[in-house]
Structure 1
Amino acid sequence: MSTQQVSWTDSFSQAQNAIQSLTTILPAVPKPVIASENPALSLLNDPELAEQISNHIRQPDSGAGDNQLCRWLYDTFHTSKIDLQLVVLRFLPMIAGVYLSRIPLRKPLAGFEAVLLAIYAHETASRDGQAVTINISDASHPSVYHENNHPHKTASPELHLVVVSPTLEPQGTIRSTKRARIIGVALELYHSKIADMPVQSKLDFCEFCIIWAGQDDDVNDDEKEDDQKEKEGKTKKEKKEGRILLPWEMLQPMLRILSHCLVGINKNNKKNKELHEAACHACRSLYARALHDINPKAILAIGSLLKLIKYQQTDVDHTELPVTNVIHL
């Protein structure tokens, strides 16, 4: 009991210290955050504070090695308190999005890189040299849910080990050849905590997926109104400038996050329509990019998400057995 009390007090005081440090960086930390009885939760979920931090990250001079907000994010993540680490992960889409968009500009980005490396190092230590793997059944064995005219094999089906994320090597700097891997690992950690992420953080992620794709969503282009086309045309240049390489080691965790956003369910089991629509737009943009790049693996994976969208729109439960008056003998 005493150990839990000390741990809670320590976490509370560290969250309070983080808020006090933030008051020297931001114009005005919201009073509800300062006076909160659960400061870490307020840091994570307060929309006004999130907007201030996001605007700060988007500033032209953000991301440099001497940037105070980057230093705050780095120090906050290194507190090793899960609730405070969630606060940093909440802004990962914004950090990664702005960081990747500025790579071609040759600007100093040591501040962003320090935060990304801190997240990567945390995952490297957590995995302890082990790859992330899953077991899948041998597809050569018949499923128990389907009819089979051939006799069942008596031997139990063998499980095939599939590597989802390879072993991690320590990285002291972000080289161009390792950039996608480092950001991909950070996104994997974000996905593992996505149930705790506010909706706005996921919306930010969907926004940057569209920018990273750099490809217009032409699936329903004929159905769009003229004023909508004109509005979207203004952002076309931004998309093209934000277009980046999307290797599988980065695209795979992106699609996992988008699959969660497509379902659109938050911790209260309520569906968020805005998040669902943003994820749909992101999937279509990424699919157009995959077609443009002639990337078979990406086409197959994103195509599956588009089928999920189509099934959701039909509002049909495909697990229900069809009702019919015909009797088959």
Structure 2
Amino acid sequence: MPPCCKLDFCEFVSSWAGQDCPCRHEFDDEVKSSSILPDEVQGNIGHAAEELGRLAIRDQNCNGDNCERISRRGSRVPLPWELIQPTLRILGHCLLAPLIPQEVRDAASSAVCCVYARASHDIEPQVILAARSLIQLDISTRKTAKDALIFSAPDQASNHI
């Protein structure tokens, strides 16, 4: 399959899952979370309601906290497991196959983040688990590739001996 078709597929998946969701980058900012929710530890019900309100679907014209209008038109396309499973397999191939161009990897990474954010909103455990696993695999392979480049540099290799 040519790389341009893979890029088109990744862009389609991003838009299908909800490309403009602001929470798709939030999980990377968090340090590894524990299984105990902070609301359970603190017993702060008001904070829990605020967190649930943050998961609401907002119009594209909203920017941050200034948006009070919530979209209720039901325009989201469902993400059934029968469709999302092969989609995640293709995205996994785009992320982890050995001879894939970097721009395809980046597009696939963005698409998986969109799917993860959408699954988190819809509370789809199978999709959350699969997408989060792909995200973690992507992060670890990028880190490994970066480390390999650092250690294979000729001027750096003499410093490590």
**Aligning the two structures, in what range does the TM-score lie when normalised by the shorter sequence?**
0.5 to 0.7
Give me the whole-angstrom Cα distance separating, in 1, the residues matched to 2:75 and 2:14: 9
Could you tell me the TM-score, scaled by structure 1's length? Answer: 0.28
The equivalent position to 2:92 in structure 1, one of 256, 259, 265, is 259
Q: Verify: 1:292 aligned to 2:121, yes or no.
A: yes
Q: Percent identity?
A: 45
Aligned to 2:4: 200
Q: Which runs of 5+ in 2 are unaligned?
A: 29-59, 62-70, 146-161
CA deviation profile, 1:120-175 (whole Å, cap 9, x unmatched): xxxxxxxxxxxxxxxxxxxxxxxxxxxxxxxxxxxxxxxxxxxxxxxxxxxxxxxx
Mapped contact 1:287–1:302 kept (Cα < 8 A): yes
Cα drift, residue 309 of structure 1:
1.1
Give me the whole-angstrom Cα distance separating, in 1, the residues matched to 2:11 and 2:78: 16
Aligned length: 102
Give me the whole-angstrom Cα distance separating, in 2, the residues matched to 1:200 and 1:311: 25
Give me the whole-angstrom Cα distance separating, in 1, the residues matched to 2:9 and 2:133: 20
The equivalent position to 2:139 in structure 1, one of 292, 298, 310, is 310
Aligned to 1:52: none
Show the 5 A alignment for 1:1-329.
197-215=1-19, 216=21, 218-220=23-25, 236=60, 243-265=76-98, 270-315=99-144
CA deviation profile, 1:230-260 (whole Å, cap 9, x unmatched): xxxxxx47xx997411100000100010001
Give me the whole-angstrom Cα distance separating, in 2, the residues matched to 1:281 and 1:297: 19
Aligned to 1:26: none
Could you tell me the TM-score, scaled by structure 2's length? Answer: 0.56
Q: Secondary structure of the residue that 2:130 maps to in structure 1? A: helix
Change (3 A) 1:217 1:261: farther
Q: Secondary structure of the residue that 2:78 maps to in structure 1? A: coil
RCO comparison, higher one (Cα < 8 Å, 6+) = 2
CA deviation profile, 1:82-141 (whole Å, cap 9, x unmatched): xxxxxxxxxxxxxxxxxxxxxxxxxxxxxxxxxxxxxxxxxxxxxxxxxxxxxxxxxxxx
Change (3 A) 1:242 1:279: farther
Give me the whole-angstrom Cα distance separating, in 2, the residues matched to 1:275 and 1:301: 19
Greater Cα radius of gyration, structure 1 or 2: 1
**Letter matched to residue 125 of structure 2:** P
**Letter matched to residue 218 of structure 1:** C
Aligned to 1:17: none
**Letter matched to residue 220 of structure 1:** H
Give me the whole-angstrom Cα distance separating, in 2, the residues matched to 1:255 and 1:217: 21
Cα drift, residue 220 of structure 1:
3.4
